């Protein structure tokens, strides 16, 4: 029987002046949910963690998801010098909201608007490290080359940190093995669609196939000679075998199609 455990779930809510918002899970900053409720996001995140982590027995990854800590918010300012050419852009400064949590190992900080994280020995080192990291991020993504790239980093109104508890089921090894053996999440139906073929045919050869089937059912003559220009005996023979096998007209002991002599045609 599975053992139920509860872990915290955190997400940043970024509000805009146009009365819109979106959520970004703290553990996966590549995922953005626009206009979706926090409860729905937490439920879907729990389903993914259950299916991709717990149902596969990857319990060690629980340490990455378990972030039961108290977070604090603050603001930092980053100064950018004027462009070296003297006219691309003047010197300016930007302010960013960041969140941090303290532990015995040090202090972890997050800037949700940019999806950046850092770790420092003390709280006073967090703003200094973020200032350098943000400058590097602006240079790497060439944000200083266009004013639109700069505005997109500060056009939010306020950032909030939301949290909730999600419940997961830790399976025993026997249950995990049973799920893997039964293919609880097969990949083939996701990549392909099962063909519903009601009638097996050699395409373009329906008439010769029907004549061959009638000849084989004749109780007086079972020897068939296929004559003609470029006779495709193999498609006709195997097409008839499939129909016969399904309709129980011809039954072989092995249930396999009969062997045909090699042909140069």
Instruction: Read off the pLDDT of residues 115-171 as tens digits, 9 standing for 90 and up.
Output: 899 999 999 999 999 999 999 999 888 888 887 788 777 777 788 999 888 888 777
pLDDT for 98 equals 94
By C-alpha distance, which of 156, 144, 148 is closest to 88? 144
Tell me how far apart the alpha carbons of residues 233 and 34 are, in angstroms, rounded to a whole number: 60
* pLDDT one-digit tens code per residue, 196-236: 666 555 666 777 777 777 777 776 656 667 666 555 666 66
Confidence of residue 255 (pLDDT cuts 50, 70, 90): very low
Rounded to an integer, the average pLDDT of 53-64 is 71
By C-alpha distance, which of 9, 23, 59, 19 is closest to 165? 9
Tell me how far apart the alpha carbons of residues 140 and 5 are, in angstroms, rounded to a whole number: 41
Confidence of residue 113 (pLDDT cuts 50, 70, 90): confident
Query: What is the chain's mean pLDDT, rounded?
Result: 76
CA atoms within 13 Å, Cβ hemisphere of 10: 20
107: pLDDT strictly greater than 80 = yes
pLDDT for 260 equals 46
Higher pLDDT, 180 or 99: 99
């Amino acid at each position: 029987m599975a053992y139920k455990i509860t872990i915290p779930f955190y997400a940043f809510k970024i509000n805009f002046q146009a009365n819109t918002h979106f959520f970004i899970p703290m553990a996966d900053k590549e995922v953005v949910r626009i206009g979706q409720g926090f409860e729905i996001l937490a439920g879907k995140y729990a389903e993914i963690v259950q299916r991709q982590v717990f149902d596969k027995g990857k319990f060690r990854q629980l340490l990455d998801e378990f972030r039961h800590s108290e977070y604090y918010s603050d603001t930092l300012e980053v100064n950018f010098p004027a462009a070296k050419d003297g006219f691309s852009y003047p010197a300016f400064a930007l302010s960013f909201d960041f969140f941090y949590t303290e532990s015995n190992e040090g202090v972890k900080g997050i800037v949700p608007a940019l999806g950046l994280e850092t770790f420092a020995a003390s709280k006073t080192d967090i703003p200094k490290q973020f200032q350098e990291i943000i400058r590097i991020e602006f240079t790497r993504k060439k944000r200083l080359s266009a004013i639109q790239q700069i505005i997109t980093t500060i056009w939010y109104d306020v950032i909030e940190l939301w949290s909730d508890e999600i419940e997961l089921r830790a399976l025993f090894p026997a249950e995990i093995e049973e799920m893997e053996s039964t293919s609880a999440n097969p990949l083939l139906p996701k990549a392909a669609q099962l063909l519903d073929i009601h009638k097996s045919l050699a395409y373009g050869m329906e008439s010769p196939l029907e004549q061959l089937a009638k000849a084989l059912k004749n109780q007086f003559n079972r020897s068939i000679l296929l004559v003609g220009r470029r006779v495709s005996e193999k498609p006709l023979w195997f097409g008839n075998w499939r129909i016969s096998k399904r309709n129980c007209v011809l039954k072989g002991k092995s249930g396999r199609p009969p062997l045909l002599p090699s042909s140069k045609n």
